[in-house]
């Protein structure tokens, strides 16, 4: 399996069609895993996973990677820079640590730091941004840790678990990240 990015505990590698038969589709069908994101509204199928994997292969607008543990190769999440814009040199960061045992151990932050670093150092991005639910303490913690600035609030923008929740917008400039 080709490794693409490496951190102390993780290998970030390209997604393969075999991943559609692993734990990945299950993450998007799990209410708890999706409590802080927009998934788990309609079922997510193996076929949709295969379509996604095919759509990002060779893509220049989405760089999607599997987050795997160095210790045993286990696929524990996915991460991407998406909507990569060649003129603005901006991209959206998205991450999902699907394996519940791997959450809250700094793995999300470790993966995000590596991909954001790659975005600035290799893709020549100027800015990385994302939006997250007000109650997503993990994503908000990652934003703080990596030096993102809160740029705005989309009030009651998403309907989740019976109520509309605010989406907090974060942005990070290359200069800010590189000065850390």
Ligand X SMILES: CC(C)(COP(=O)(O)OP(=O)(O)OC[C@H]1O[C@@H](n2cnc3c(N)ncnc32)[C@H](O)[C@@H]1OP(=O)(O)O)[C@@H](O)C(=O)NCCC(=O)NCCS
Q: Which residues bind ligand X (CB under 6 A)?
A: 33, 36-37, 95-97, 103-109, 132, 136-139, 141-142, 145
Closer by beta carbon to ligand X, 83 or else 124: 83
Closer by beta carbon to ligand X, 34 or else 120: 34
Closest residue to bound ligand X by CB: 141
Neighbouring-strand partners of residue 65:
14, 79
Closer by beta carbon to ligand X, 8 or else 58: 8
Q: In the bound complex, what is the minimum distance in angstroms from residue 62's beta carbon to ligand X? A: 16
Determine phi and psi for 96, rounding to 5 degrees: -140, 115
Q: In the bound complex, what is the minimum distance in angstroms from residue 87's beta carbon to ligand X? A: 25
Closer by beta carbon to ligand X, 120 or else 170: 170
CA distance 81 to 114: 11
Supply 47's token pair. Answer: 């076929």
Q: In the bound complex, what is the minimum distance in angstroms from residue 120's beta carbon to ligand X? A: 19
Residue 128 · residue 81 · CB < 8 Å: yes
Buried b (16+ CB within 10 A) or exposed e, 28-62: bebeebbebbebbeeebeeeebeebbeebeeeeeb
Q: In the bound complex, what is the minimum distance in angstroms from residue 114's beta carbon to ligand X? A: 12
Closer by beta carbon to ligand X, 53 or else 168: 168
Q: In the bound complex, what is the minimum distance in angstroms from residue 58's beta carbon to ligand X? A: 25
Short-list 91, 53, 56, 65, CA closest to 7: 65
């Amino acid at each position: 399996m080709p490794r693409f990015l490496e951190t102390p505990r993780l290998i970030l590698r390209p997604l393969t069609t075999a991943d559609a038969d692993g734990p990945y589709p299950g993450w998007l069908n799990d209410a708890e895993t999706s409590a802080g994101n927009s998934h788990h509204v309609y079922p997510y199928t193996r076929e949709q996973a295969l379509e996604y994997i095919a759509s990002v292969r060779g893509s220049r607008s989405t760089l999607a990677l599997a987050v795997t543990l160095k210790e045993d190769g286990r696929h524990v999440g996915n991460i991407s820079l998406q909507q990569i814009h060649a003129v603005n040199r901006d991209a959206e960061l998205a991450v999902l640590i699907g394996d519940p045992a791997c959450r809250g151990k700094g793995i999300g932050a470790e993966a995000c730091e590596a991909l954001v670093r790659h975005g600035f150092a290799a893709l020549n991005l100027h800015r990385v941004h994302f939006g997250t639910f007000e109650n997503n303490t993990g994503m908000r913690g990652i934003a703080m840790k990596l030096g993102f600035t809160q740029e705005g609030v989309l009030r009651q923008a998403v309907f989740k678990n019976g109520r509309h929740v605010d989406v907090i917008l974060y942005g990070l400039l290359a200069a800010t990240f590189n000065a850390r």
